[in-house]
Amino acid sequence: MYYASQKAFPEGFLWGASTSAYQAEGAWDQDGKSPSIIDMYEHPKQYADFKSASDHYHRYKEDIRLFAEMGLKAYRFSVAWTRILPDGTGRVNQAGIRHYHDVIQECRKYGIEPIVTMYHFDLPYCLEEKGGWGSRETVEAFVEYARVLFTNYGGEVTYWLTINEQNTMILHPGAIGLPKDGKIPSKKELYQQNHHLMLAQARAMKLCHELCPEGRIGPALNLTAMYPETCRPEDSIAAHNWEVIRCWNFADVPVFGWYHPLAWRYLQDRELAPEIKEGDKECLAGARPDFMAMNYYSTATIAASRGDASDVSARAGDQQIMLGEEGVYRAAENPYVAKTKYGWVIDPSGFRYTLRKVYERYHLPILITENGIGAPDRLENGQVHDNYRIDFIRQHLSAMRLAITDGVEVIGYCPWAALDVVSTHQGYQKRYGFLYVDRDEFDLKEMRRIKKDSYFWYQKVIADNGASL
Ligand code: BGP
């Protein structure tokens, strides 16, 4: 749709950027932190692990000063559960409490709004050993952890994100990693884990509303619209199948209090439906998120299933992610979109389209908590010329502005990432940050922070509230 004039980005728009604890902090065993499942994962030998990462744990003051200089109005980071409750439950580690208190205060000093993710893939390993998300005990542990966070930081944090990309964890568990000799749980087990995550999330949301009257809380899912490969009706049905199973089934539960009807039928028919205990339905109902946080990288294009094993294939450029399911959908190519070096589809219009769909479905303000392009950035004469990142973000911001013009309520944009962090599968070969972190896969060097071209560009965008895009 064309408009005579476009809407401006709203006043007070949260121009931000994101990181997560395990990818940015390092200091994996310091100041009382216990190992998380991520620390115990078997890691590809040719890439950096998460032990030192970008050393944000020690350098957060310098980093936040640089974020402030870039003009950030918000900083999205995650708290490592293993720093707060090293045994998963019980004993509170005061050094961990102090650390995030200091990070929050440092943000506030510069007028940066802290946006806190409570859980970004890094379950305490001691809880994993007791059954992890397959056990209802972990729900209780998460609620205890949530209470510690809300009690300690409720007065200083307004924006809370419950769980990062629950849909990625459940649908593509191999994408996050596996402990040594570990095996990927069955689909049945994964959907039971999913149910427990949903219960944990619902209880955390209710607790937040009870303990933090000013707090606003929402889920952070990886959402993406699907296109049918052709106008063949069966392709549209398949695209809808996967859009529901991948996205709406995860977002409906926190907002509407129950699973999407189509997804629920799919789960029942394949005997994948989780065990529902007395009180679960009441627990899920009424969680009432205040906003929907959304990570958006790309769209997918889908064709009807052929009904045989040829439906299943590895995602282009990423052997960790299998797409397609017999009798449900098959991944197809889209000739109208570009791709990153890593095979991820680049689709700014798809961003607008996804935003429209999310808003139409949930009528909640939307906070973008990830979006960005991974690339093997090069440091040349002390500079990083990442024009591809500028192009990517400019196009996505323009599409987002069109979505705002369409009537979608977007409250902030926090691209991935504020600074270079460890990419889960490609270490420091694949970078996303506005700040270059000068280290190699194994040589930590001095980890100097260097402003990339995109840093200066984003600084200008923020300074005029996106008017010059
Ligand atoms: C998202 C995760 C982030 C980040 C990002 C980029 O799914 O929430 O933690 O890793 O993807 O992924 P990658 O580093 O694998 O390219």
Please give the structure tokens belonging to residue 357.
Answer: 């769909």
Whose Cα sits closest to atom 14 in ligand 1? 423
Q: Any residues with CB less than 8 A from the CB of 175 and at least 6 apart, and which?
A: 168, 318, 320, 321, 424, 425
Q: Is the CB of 424 under 6 A from ligand 1?
A: yes
Q: For residue 347, how many other CB atoms are within 10 A of its CB?
A: 27
Range of the domain at 272: 14-463
Tell me: the pLDDT tens digits for 356-384? 999 999 999 999 999 999 999 999 999 99
Residue 86 Cα distances to 126, 158, 329, angstroms: 8, 25, 42
- Residue 291 within a domain: yes
Residue 315 Cα distances to 165, 281, 424, angstroms: 18, 35, 16
Ligand 1 centre from 425 Cα, in Å? Answer: 9
Mutate to test the pocket of ligand 1, among 78, 295, 416 (most ligand atoms within 8 A of CB): 416
Query: Cα–Cα distance between 31 and 103 in angstroms, integer?
Result: 15
* Averaged pLDDT score across all residues of the chain: 96
Tell me: the pLDDT tens digits for 145-158? 999 999 999 999 99
Query: What length does the chain have?
Result: 469
Per-residue pLDDT at 337 exceeds 90: yes
- Residue 177 within a domain: yes
CA nearest 189: which of 285, 267, 246, 241?
A: 267
Q: Any residues with CB less than 8 A from the CB of 288 and at least 6 apart, and which?
A: 205, 206, 209
CA nearest 347: which of 318, 369, 373?
A: 373
Question: Which pLDDT band holds residue 194 (cuts at 50, 70, 90)?
Answer: very high
Please give the pLDDT value at position 182: 75
- Residue 5 within a domain: no
Does 285 sit behind a cis peptide bond, omega within 30 degrees of 0 on the bond before it?
no
Put simply, whether the predicted model's pTM sits higher than 0.95 gets the answer: yes
Residue 364 near residue 292 (C-beta atoms within 8 A): yes
Please give the pLDDT value at position 180: 67
Q: Is the CB of 22 under 6 A from ligand 1?
A: no
Per-residue pLDDT at 342 exceeds 90: no
CATH number for the domain including 302? 3.20.20.80
- Residue 285 within a domain: yes
Q: Is the CB of 416 under 6 A from ligand 1?
A: yes
Question: Which pLDDT band holds residue 317 (cuts at 50, 70, 90)?
Answer: low
If you ran DSSP here, which 8-state letter would residue 76 be given?
A: E
- Residue 330 within a domain: yes
Tell me: the pLDDT tens digits for 4-38? 999 999 999 999 999 999 999 999 999 999 999 99
Sequential DSSP letters for 59-75: HHHHHHHHHHHHT-SEE
Whose Cα sits closest to atom 13 in ligand 1? 423
Backbone phi, then psi, for 301, in 5-degree steps?
-120, 135
Total number of domains in the chain? 1
288: left (phi over 0), alpha (psi -120 to 50) or beta: left
Please give the pLDDT value at position 124: 97
Residue 82 near residue 50 (C-beta atoms within 8 A): no
Amino acid at 372: G
Q: Is the CB of 315 under 6 A from ligand 1?
A: no
Per-residue pLDDT at 139 exceeds 90: yes
Residue 420 near residue 375 (C-beta atoms within 8 A): no
Q: Any residues with CB less than 8 A from the CB of 130 and at least 6 apart, and which?
A: 88, 137, 138
Taking residues 307-330, what's their average pLDDT? 88
Query: Cα–Cα distance between 59 and 67 in angstroms, integer?
Result: 12
- Residue 8 within a domain: no
**Long-range Cβ contacts of 439-443 (<8 Å, 24+ apart):** 439/48, 439/52, 439/54, 440/48, 441/46, 441/47, 441/48, 442/48
Per-residue pLDDT at 286 exceeds 90: no
Whose Cα sits closest to atom 6 in ligand 1? 423
Ligand 1 centre from 424 Cα, in Å? Answer: 7
Q: Say how many CA atoms lie within 13 Å of 33 toward its Cβ.
A: 28
- Residue 304 within a domain: yes
Three-class SS of residue 222?
Answer: strand
If you ran DSSP here, which 8-state letter would residue 245 be given?
A: I
Please give the pLDDT value at position 372: 98
Per-residue pLDDT at 319 exceeds 80: no
The fraction of the chain above a pLDDT of 90, given in percent, is 92
Q: For residue 102, how many other CB atoms are within 10 A of its CB?
A: 13
- Residue 429 within a domain: yes
Tell me: the pLDDT tens digits for 378-436? 999 999 999 999 999 999 999 999 999 999 999 999 999 999 999 988 999 999 999 99
* Count of helix runs (H) and strand runs (E) in the chain: 17, 17
Kindly name the residue from 113, 165, 229, 243 that is annotated as catalytic: 165
Tell me, rounded to whole angstroms, the distance of Cα 72 from its chain centroid.
Answer: 19
Whose tokens are 């990693």? That residue is: 177
Catalytic, 165? Answer yes
Tell me: the pLDDT tens digits for 48-102? 999 999 999 999 999 999 999 999 999 999 999 999 999 999 999 999 999 999 9
Ligand 1 centre from 268 Cα, in Å? Answer: 31
Residue 459 Cα distances to 71, 384, 456, angstroms: 6, 16, 5
Residue ranges of E strands in 121-225: 159-164, 216-222
- In terms of DSSP bridges, do strands 410-413 and 318-323 run parallel, antiparallel, or are they unpaired? unpaired
Q: Is the CB of 425 under 6 A from ligand 1?
A: yes
